[in-house]
A and B are shown apart, each in its own frame.
Chain A
Amino acid sequence: MKWTELAAALFGAHHEIVADGDFLSGTAMLDGEPITVVGTTGHAPIGYELALRQARAILDTMAHHPGRPILLMIDTQGQQLRRHDELLGINRAMAHLGCCIDLARRRGHRVIGLVYDQALSGGFITSGLIADACYALPEAEIRVMRIPAMARVTKLPEAMLTELSRENPVFAPGVENYVAMGGVRALWRGDLAAALRDALARTPTDDTRAQDGAQRSGRRHAAPTTQLVLDAI
């Protein structure tokens, strides 16, 4: 879905979200209440600068609009793969973005992630994955790596990975797999404004993803292993 269609579906005409290159930001109204929207479009590679621009918008919301909910609209091909970004410390810029979102949550802002197109590894980990919770549209794509690339890197047969991925969501891309693993809380279908309203009202503020993954049988080992550590003598 295009971001403009998404914004219209969520807020009708009640928004002032603008795209500046790949960067999205602005204020929208839901049921008469303002929401900060921050995000990216065009499958943006998240480089040092784009991470900072998102962080700036989060900081401004904390400074000027305490408690205002924040919606992260996610469409990224992953981190920018450039030497210059590494030289500058892209990992530090991304950590900064993640820390800004984390602090916003601690200061009482609801932060909801929504993957509306695609999300990949490094571009996703300090946005949707560090929000209160991340949601996705059914047609979105989430992955670390496609199966053919995974086969090359791991030197395992592609057919074997494809076969395994039918029963084990750990190996295969797809929003349904991320739901099963607890990484995505739910898919938004139908009335998207209602879905956002519901997410703002019901999303837990603590990290329940491992328990969700265990209950949904998509990631059965994380929660029990964490518990083993807590119980270890």
Chain B
Amino acid sequence: MTRHALPSRISYAECTARERLDQVFDEDSFHEWLPPAQRVTSPHLAQLGVPVSFDDGVAIGRARLDGRDVFVAAQEGAFMGGGVGEIHGAKLVGLLRRALRDRPEAVLLLAESGGVRLHEANAGLIAVSEVMRALLDVRAAGIPVIVLIGGAYGCFGGMGIVARCADHIVMSDVGRLAMSGPEVIEASHGVEEFDSRDRALVWRTTGGKHRYLMGDCDQLVDDDVAEFRAAAIRALSAARAMTLAALEAEHALLAKRLRDAQGATDAIALWQRIGIEKSNSVPELNASQVRALRPGQEVAR
């Protein structure tokens, strides 16, 4: 990716959660709730003798995006892989409940998470489901929820489900969105099932290009904070009503995909099935080239 980089490009993947907030939103507009100085930390990690983080791995607050008032959360992958514990999850729920009360123009989630934080597994699992319900409440109120995925740790587990509950997803080609990580699948079913060290295979299966070609994310951008910002601004009007008709359309799309994928063991074969030309060359293409490949019709959500 970097060989195409302009000198001014800032890698979204290499930024911390707070740097992303600074770069994606209007200058100096981020106002944090429960900032590190307040030290709302995980009591469970402390009990285990594991180092805590003063924000429990997620920064939340309000900001402006292209002049519009939005609520934002950014998960920090460098702290416990962005894992959701009791406090981390409750901060996300609080942000979403507050959005329901205060009605910002959108809620943006800069997701970077392995899912449930295993050190506080039970509380984390319940917390992620509370985030899902609170997120769907916000959507039901007509406030769009937009997810940005481009951190080195990807968006996995329960957070991979949360992301797909949102109105709109922006990914970079280095971003990954999935349920179980390749290491977990390899540990469970062997290296023949999923070789977690085969980076090309990992990205073909879970990476931004694959997700974009399948319609699992709405916008694909290069690993550049300015591109994420522009994509986030475009997504501000992305609210999609969750209706029975919308879910029937989603179901039809997912059922068709199951039929299309019969016998397709790899992403390249699956791309061919859905009519992507020159599927073999996709791994070498940049984001704008991949964008040009996606079949015309936008996906149902």
Are B48 and A154 neighbours in the complex by a CB distance under 8 Å?
A: yes
User: Is there a chain A Cβ closer than 8 Å to B277's Cβ?
Assistant: no
Contacts of B180 in A (CB 8 A): 79, 81, 86, 90, 122
Binds A, one of B17-25, B224-232, B257-265, B288-296: B257-265
Chain A residue with the shortest CB-CB distance to B178: A86
Contacts of B132 in A (CB 8 A): 98, 102, 125-126, 129-130
Chain A positions 17-57 with a Cβ under 8 Å from a chain B Cβ: 48-49, 52, 55-56
User: Is there a chain A Cβ closer than 8 Å to B285's Cβ?
Assistant: no
Contacts of B211 in A (CB 8 A): 89
Are B125 and A229 neighbours in the complex by a CB distance under 8 Å?
A: no
Contacts of B95 in A (CB 8 A): 229
Chain B residue with the shortest CB-CB distance to A90: B179
Given known contacts A91-B178, A183-B122, A96 and B251 CB-to-CB distance under 8 angstroms: yes
Query: Chain A: interface residue count, which band?
Result: 35 or more
Contacts of A62 in B (CB 8 A): 244
Contacts of B103 in A (CB 8 A): none
Are A160 and B244 neighbours in the complex by a CB distance under 8 Å?
A: no
- The smallest C-beta distance from B95 to any residue of chain A, in angstroms, reads 6
Contacts of B267 in A (CB 8 A): 87
Are A225 and B116 neighbours in the complex by a CB distance under 8 Å?
A: no
User: Is there a chain B Cβ closer than 8 Å to A200's Cβ?
Assistant: no
> Which residue of the partner chain, among B44, B160, B266, contacts A170 with CB atoms under 8 Å?
B44
Are A223 and B244 neighbours in the complex by a CB distance under 8 Å?
A: no
Are B161 and A169 neighbours in the complex by a CB distance under 8 Å?
A: no
User: Is there a chain B Cβ closer than 8 Å to A192's Cβ?
Assistant: no
Are A83 and B185 neighbours in the complex by a CB distance under 8 Å?
A: yes
- The smallest C-beta distance from A66 to any residue of chain B, in angstroms, reads 10
Which of A91, A130, A172 has the largest number of chain B CB atoms within 10 A? A91
Docked complex Cα distance between A160 and B48 (Å):
8
- The smallest C-beta distance from A97 to any residue of chain B, in angstroms, reads 9
Chain A positions 209-233 with a Cβ under 8 Å from a chain B Cβ: 209-210, 213, 219, 221-223, 225-230, 232
User: Is there a chain B Cβ closer than 8 Å to A139's Cβ?
Assistant: no
Chain A positions 94-144 with a Cβ under 8 Å from a chain B Cβ: 94-96, 98-100, 102-103, 106-107, 121-122, 124-126, 129-130, 143-144
User: Is there a chain A Cβ closer than 8 Å to B91's Cβ?
Assistant: yes
Contacts of A82 in B (CB 8 A): 185, 189, 193-194
User: Is there a chain A Cβ closer than 8 Å to B43's Cβ?
Assistant: yes
Are A85 and B179 neighbours in the complex by a CB distance under 8 Å?
A: yes
Docked complex Cα distance between A84 and B258 (Å):
10
Docked complex Cα distance between A130 and B243 (Å):
17
Are A170 and B122 neighbours in the complex by a CB distance under 8 Å?
A: yes
> Which residue of the partner chain, among A100, A156, A164, A210, contacts B130 with CB atoms under 8 Å?
A210
Are A99 and B242 neighbours in the complex by a CB distance under 8 Å?
A: yes
User: Is there a chain A Cβ closer than 8 Å to B239's Cβ?
Assistant: no
Are B261 and A222 neighbours in the complex by a CB distance under 8 Å?
A: no
User: Is there a chain B Cβ closer than 8 Å to A7's Cβ?
Assistant: no
Chain B positions 207-249 with a Cβ under 8 Å from a chain A Cβ: 210-211, 214, 216, 242-244, 247-248
Chain B residue with the shortest CB-CB distance to A92: B164
Given known contacts A125-B129, A181-B122, A210-B130, A225 and B91 CB-to-CB distance under 8 angstroms: yes
Chain A residue with the shortest CB-CB distance to B41: A221
> Which residue of the partner chain, among A55, A84, A122, A181, contacts B126 with CB atoms under 8 Å?
A181
- The smallest C-beta distance from A88 to any residue of chain B, in angstroms, reads 6
> Which residue of the partner chain, among B140, B188, B244, B250, contacts A96 with CB atoms under 8 Å?
B250
User: Is there a chain B Cβ closer than 8 Å to A171's Cβ?
Assistant: yes
User: Is there a chain B Cβ closer than 8 Å to A69's Cβ?
Assistant: no
Contacts of A100 in B (CB 8 A): 247, 251
**Can you name 18 A-B pairs with beta carbons within 8 Å?**
A48-B258, A81-B188, A82-B189, A86-B185, A87-B267, A89-B164, A90-B180, A99-B242, A99-B250, A129-B125, A154-B48, A168-B44, A225-B40, A225-B90, A225-B91, A227-B94, A229-B60, A229-B91
Report B's interface with A, CB cutoff 8 A.
33-34, 40, 43-44, 47-48, 50, 60, 86-87, 89-91, 93-95, 97-98, 101, 116, 118-130, 132-134, 136, 140, 157-158, 160-165, 177-180, 182, 184-185, 188-189, 193-194, 205-206, 210-211, 214, 216, 242-244, 247-248, 250-251, 254-255, 257-258, 261, 265-267, 270
Report A's interface with B, CB cutoff 8 A.
48-49, 52, 55-56, 59, 62-63, 79, 81-96, 98-100, 102-103, 106-107, 121-122, 124-126, 129-130, 143-145, 150, 153-154, 156, 160, 164, 168-173, 177-178, 181-183, 207, 209-210, 213, 219, 221-223, 225-230, 232
The 10 closest A-B pairs by CB, nearest first: A229-B94, A95-B164, A129-B129, A144-B121, A225-B90, A232-B33, A91-B160, A226-B94, A183-B126, A83-B194
